[in-house]
Amino acid sequence: EERIVILGAGQGGFQAAASLREAGFTGPLTLVGDEPGLPYQRPPLSKAYMKGDAGIEQIELRPAAFYADHRIELIEARATGIDRATRHLMLEGGARLGYAHLILATGARNRPLPVPGRELSGVYYLRTRADADALKATLACARHVVVIGAGFIGLEFAAVARALGHEVTVIEAAARPLGRAVSPEMSAFFAQAHRDMGTTLLLGAGVVGLEGVDGRVTGVKTTDGVVHKADFVLVGIGVVPNVELAAEAGLEVANGIVVDDHLATRDPAISALGDAVAYPSRFAGGQDEPAMVRLESVQNAVDQARCLAARLTGKSAPFEAVPWFWSDQGDLKLQMVGLAGPTDSAVLRGDPATRRFSVFRFRDGVLTAIESVNRPADHMLGRRLLAGTPVLTPEQAGDESFELKSLLG
């Protein structure tokens, strides 16, 4: 039996199943996931779904009929092991699922806050629909909301909480928000934008503990000894990839399940994709020296799923999709394409004061990434430019009279 089993029914696992059918795979296909309900999109959890503008049907990737129509078997269970010798996935409760090929799409989980008081009630994380539903229920009654971590999820949540009328404090240990993802110029813009929304943004402030009364959180204490009043805390300090099953099965793991440029592990019967994997990318290193990278984005999971489905149906090609990402915060739509290094230079196009501008990043004069706010045309152009060898110079990027489109020929 040529059964393909996909472990993890999130964005990437779902896409792998859908793309396998689209690419003509007719054999048995099973999607195993431990979350209840149909596969859904995570991005709205910190945006429209959190705000109450989208319900469950709007965030589900496909209705139930899709899985029946495409003969995709959905199994709700937690996998507990991989028996590589006999090609079986072990499920909680003892069931064993045979596979000809196994796709690991196990995603990532929240990094737990490593300080005293973390077990208090009123402390939330946001990764799953269950997380979102639980925190929505108590958020309604909160006055003082403290967000720990000024990454994408923390800031998106902060924007929603402000829009819902809560008092919001964001506490970030680093010197700037979104520090791992964007240029200092873009960080400065978002810091100001959140302050303009009425959020108190504390930078360079480490959290040393949570305080509570009767088991419920009442405050967040920072390194300077100050206790910030809180009756609701959202922790958004990043994720850790779900690599344990792969590691226990003897597959290589290094900040993710290690795969090659075809998304293959060193077991020819096992591939992996999405938030859980580290793969070689020319966008992380350079054309001649691809570096290992682990990305956390819908684009990455979806494009990897398509690439893998093509390989498993006979159209093998290396994975080289251009990385891109978006984040909605208030009325600001941030779009990013490419991967910049921490020392890449930044060239501004447009005026941040108009809330419509882009930051072009360069390394040794070569375009590496574009960060755009409310300027989708720059972003779309960047996707096309970065797919090839970009010829844009820093001078052209900074000159608004220069037509970027002219570079596409």
Residue ranges binding ligand FAD (CB under 6 A): 7-13, 32-35, 42-43, 45-46, 78-79, 105-108, 126-127, 153, 242, 245, 274-276, 296-299, 301, 325-327
Which tokens go with 256? 């993710």
Q: Measured from the CB atom, is 159 or 404 closer to ligand FAD? A: 159
Torsion of CA 117, 119, 125, 128, to 10 degrees: 170
Could you tell me if 247 and 82 are in contact, meaning their C-beta atoms sit under 8 angstroms apart?
A: no
Query: H helices of 197-317, where?
Result: 244-248, 298-312
Q: Tell me the closest approach of the beta carbon of residue 188 to ligand FAD, in angstroms.
A: 21
Q: Measured from the CB atom, is 8 or 382 closer to ligand FAD? A: 8
Q: Tell me the closest approach of the beta carbon of residue 93 to ligand FAD, in angstroms.
A: 12
Residue nearest to ligand FAD (CB): 10
C-alpha distances (whole Å) from 40 to each of 58, 138, 222, 329 are 9, 22, 36, 21
Q: Tell me the closest approach of the beta carbon of residue 43 to ligand FAD, in angstroms.
A: 4
Q: Measured from the CB atom, is 347 or 386 closer to ligand FAD? A: 386
Q: Tell me the closest approach of the beta carbon of residue 401 to ligand FAD, in angstroms.
A: 33
End-to-end Cα distance, the chain? 50
Q: Tell me the closest approach of the beta carbon of residue 78 to ligand FAD, in angstroms.
A: 4
Q: Measured from the CB atom, is 240 or 366 closer to ligand FAD? A: 240
Q: Please state whether 197 falls in left (phi above 0), alpha (psi between -120 and 50) or beta.
A: alpha
Q: Which residue has tokens 């077990």?
A: 119
Contacts of 67 (CB under 8 A, 6+ apart): 31, 38, 73, 74
Q: Measured from the CB atom, is 246 or 346 closer to ligand FAD? A: 246
Q: Tell me the closest approach of the beta carbon of residue 354 to ligand FAD, in angstroms.
A: 23
Indicate the pairing of strand 291-293 with strand 277-281: antiparallel
Q: Measured from the CB atom, is 234 or 347 closer to ligand FAD? A: 234
Q: Tell me the closest approach of the beta carbon of residue 314 to ligand FAD, in angstroms.
A: 24
Which tokens go with 257? 């399940």
Q: Measured from the CB atom, is 102 or 404 closer to ligand FAD? A: 102
Q: Measured from the CB atom, is 124 or 362 closer to ligand FAD? A: 124
Q: Tell me the closest approach of the beta carbon of residue 157 to ligand FAD, in angstroms.
A: 8
Q: What is the DSSP string of 269-280?
A: TEEE-GGGEEEE
Q: Measured from the CB atom, is 36 or 225 closer to ligand FAD? A: 36
Q: Which residue has tokens 């209705």?
A: 63
Q: Tell me the closest approach of the beta carbon of residue 16 to ligand FAD, in angstroms.
A: 9
Q: Tell me the closest approach of the beta carbon of residue 263 to ligand FAD, in angstroms.
A: 12
The one-letter amino acid code at 219 reads G
Q: What is the DSSP string of 125-194?
A: --SSHHHHHHHHHHHTT-SEEEEE--SHHHHHHHHHHHHTT-EEEEE-SSSSTTTTTS-HHHHHHHHHHH
Q: Measured from the CB atom, is 159 or 245 closer to ligand FAD? A: 245
Could you tell me if 124 and 220 are in contact, meaning their C-beta atoms sit under 8 angstroms apart?
A: no
Torsion of CA 154, 155, 161, 163, to 10 degrees: -170
- The rounded distance, in Å, linking the Cα atoms of 181 and 132 is 24
